[in-house]
Amino acid sequence: MTTLTEPSTVTTRRSSRLMWAILGLVLLADALDVIDATVTNIAAPTIAGELHGGESLIKWLGPAYMLAMGVLLVVGGRLGDKFGQRRIFLIGMGGFTLASAAAGFSPDQVLLIAARIAQGAFGALLIPQGMAIMTKAFDRDMLAKAFGLFGPVLGLSSVGGPVLAGFLISADLFGLSWRPIFLINIILGVIGLVIAVKLLPRDDDADRSTVVDGWASGLLGVTMLGLLYGLIEGSTNGWGVIPVVSIVVGVLFFAAFAYRQRTAAHPLITPSLMKNRGFTSGLLVCLVAVAAGTGLLFVLSLFLQEGLHVGPRDTSLGLVPLTLGLVAAGFAAMGGLVAKLGRGLVFIGLTVDLVGCGWVLALVAYSGTNVSLWALAPAFFVIGVGIGLSFATIPVVALGDAKPDEAGSASGSFSSIQQLASAIGSAAVTSIFFQAGTSGLDHAIKSLSSSFWRSRPSASRSSP
Give average pLDDT by consecutive 10-residue segment, the chain, 464 residues. 44 67 89 84 84 78 81 82 87 96 92 93 90 72 67 71 80 88 92 91 65 80 80 71 90 91 79 75 78 76 76 76 83 71 79 87 78 87 86 72 67 73 69 58 52 44 35
Task: Give the integer Cα–Cα distance in Å for 451 and 353.
Answer: 13
Task: Give the integer Cα–Cα distance in Å for 325 and 255.
Answer: 40
Which pLDDT score is estimated for 196?
92
Contact status, residue 104 vs residue 168, Cβ threshold 8 Å: no
Task: Give the integer Cα–Cα distance in Å for 293 and 101.
Answer: 29
- Please tell me the pTM assigned to this model: 0.73
Which pLDDT score is estimated for 256?
94
Cα Dmax for the chain: 86
Which pLDDT score is estimated for 455?
44
DSSP at 335 = I
Which pLDDT score is estimated for 403?
67
Q: HSE-up of 432 (CA within 13 Å, CB side)?
A: 23
Which pLDDT score is estimated for 437?
54
3-state secondary structure of 403: coil
Which pLDDT score is estimated for 452?
45
Which pLDDT score is estimated for 119?
95
Which pLDDT score is estimated for 3?
43
pLDDT in tens, 127-166: 888 877 877 777 666 666 676 677 677 767 766 777 788 8
DSSP at 106 = -
Contact status, residue 423 vs residue 429, Cβ threshold 8 Å: no
Task: Give the integer Cα–Cα distance in Å for 396 and 148.
Answer: 7
Q: For residues 304-337, b (16+ Cβ closer than 10 Å) or e, as one string? A: bbbbbebebbbbbbbbbbbbbbbbbbbbbbbeeb
3-state secondary structure of 445: helix
The CA dihedral of 354, 325, 37, 299, to the nearest 10 degrees, is 40
- Sort 407 into a burial class: Cβ within 10 Å, 0-12 / 13-18 / 19+: buried
Task: Give the integer Cα–Cα distance in Å for 150 and 395.
Answer: 8
Which pLDDT score is estimated for 2?
40
Task: Give the integer Cα–Cα distance in Å for 61 and 339.
Answer: 38
The backbone torsions φ and ψ at residue 451, rounded to the nearest 5 degrees and listed phi first, read -65, -40
